Amino acid sequence: MSKSLKLFTSVIAAMLLVFACASRGRPSGGEKDTTPPEIVSESPANFSTNFNAEEIRIYFDEYVKIKDLQKQLIISPPLKYQPTIYPQGSASKYISIKIKDTLQPNTTYAFNFGNSIVDNNEENPFRYYRYVFSTGSTIDSLSVQGAVFDAKARTADPFISVMLYEVDTTYTDSTVYKQKPKFVTNTLDSLTTFNIENIKAGKYKLIALKDKNGNFTYEPKQDKIGFYEGTITVPTDSFYNITLFKEVPDFKVFKPGQVAEQRIQFPYEGNFNPVEIEVQSDSIKNLQYRITHDKEKDTLYYWYKPLVEVDSASFLVKNETFTETFKYKFKEADKDSLIISAKKPSLGFNDIATITATTPFEKIDSTKITIINNDSIPVKYRVEFDRLYNNYKFKFELEESEKYKMQALPNAFTDFYGAVNDTLNFNFSTRRKSEFGSIRVNLINAKFPLIVQLVDTQGKVLYERYTDEFPIVDFNNIDAKQYQLRAIFDTNKNGKYDTGDFLKKIQPERVSYYPTLEDTDVRANFEYVITFTLND
Q: Which residue type does 248 have?
A: V
Architecture of 39-134 per CATH?
A: Sandwich (2.60)
Which pLDDT does position 286 carry in this prediction? 83
Q: Do residues 387 and 289 touch, judged by C-beta distance below 8 A?
A: no
pLDDT along the chain (536 residues), means of 10: 47 46 46 87 97 97 92 89 92 96 95 92 90 97 96 92 95 94 84 92 97 91 96 97 96 96 96 90 88 96 94 94 94 96 96 98 98 98 97 98 98 98 98 97 96 95 97 97 96 96 97 88 94 89
Strand ranges of the sheet holding 436-444, from the earlier edge strand across to the other edge: 472-479, 436-444, 527-533
The CATH label, of 3.40.50.300, 2.60.40.1120, 3.40.190.10, 1.20.1050.10, for the domain at 142-244 is 2.60.40.1120
Q: How far from 50 is each of 100, 196, 325, CA to CA, in Å?
A: 18, 22, 60
Name the nearest CA neighbour of 421 among 407, 434, 435, 431.
407
Assign 280 to helix, strand or coil: coil
Domain 436-533 has CATH 3.40.50.300: no
**Where are the domains positioned within the chain?**
39-134, 142-244, 252-329, 340-431, 436-533
Rounded CA separation 229/207 (Å): 10
The CATH label, of 2.60.40, 3.30.2390, 1.10.3120, 1.10.3470, for the domain at 252-329 is 2.60.40
Q: How far from 13 is each of 8, 9, 10, CA to CA, in Å?
A: 9, 6, 5
Q: Do residues 135 and 107 touch, judged by C-beta distance below 8 A?
A: yes
- The beta strands (E) that lie in 91-160 are given as 92-98, 108-112, 117-119, 130-134, 142-150
Q: What value does the CA radius of gyration of the chain take, rounded to a whole number of Å? A: 34
Rounded CA separation 125/209 (Å): 26
Q: Is the Cα torsion angle 103, 106, 107, 109 positive or negative in sign? A: positive
436-533 matches 252-329 in CATH topology: yes
The burial class, CB within 10 Å (0-12 / 13-18 / 19+), for 432 is: exposed
Q: Which CATH class is domain 340-431?
A: mainly beta
Helices (H), 344-491: none
Q: Which residue type does 359 have?
A: T
Which pLDDT does position 30 carry in this prediction? 57
Which pLDDT does position 69 carry in this prediction? 87
